[in-house]
Amino acid sequence: MTSELHPLAQDVKQHLDNPDDRFMMLVYFTVQAGQEDAFKQAFHRPLKETVKEEGNFTYRLIQQANAPTTFIVIEHWRSLADLNSHLHQPYLDELLAKVGPILAAEPKVDVFHEYVAI
């Protein structure tokens, strides 16, 4: 794992009270009409590989039923370091190269603190 923070990990860090705590992210994508299948196909490998990564609890792609050009990636991470490692995986570079040209808008990221009853 690289110690250099990926730009997205740097942005996420600003929202975390403690980078060693678990957190969740929702990443919103809007694709150009007619590109829904290409978008889902581009996520095939990342969906399979990310769930194998240490520190990943959830990595799911969902599509909005009444707005099919809208997708959300649900991510649950053990720590910022685990997200950072994920963002440096080669299949993420491949994903971004494939989906970049078919996006209708810049992706939006929301970060959530996790609270667990003990």
* pLDDT tens digits, 37-89: 999 999 999 999 999 999 999 999 999 999 999 999 999 999 999 999 999 99
The answer to whether residues 74 and 58 touch, using CB atoms and an 8 Å cutoff, is yes
Q: Is-above-0.75 flag for pTM?
A: yes
Q: What is the pLDDT of residue 1?
A: 47
Q: Where are the domains of the chain?
A: 7-112
Cβ–Cβ under 8 Å, residues 107 and 25 = no
pLDDT of 18 > 80? The answer is yes
CB burial of 76-85 (b: ≥16 within 10 Å; e: otherwise) equals bbbbbbbbbb
> Given 3.30.530.50, 3.30.70.100, 3.50.30.40, 1.20.1080.10, which CATH number is that of 7-112?
3.30.70.100
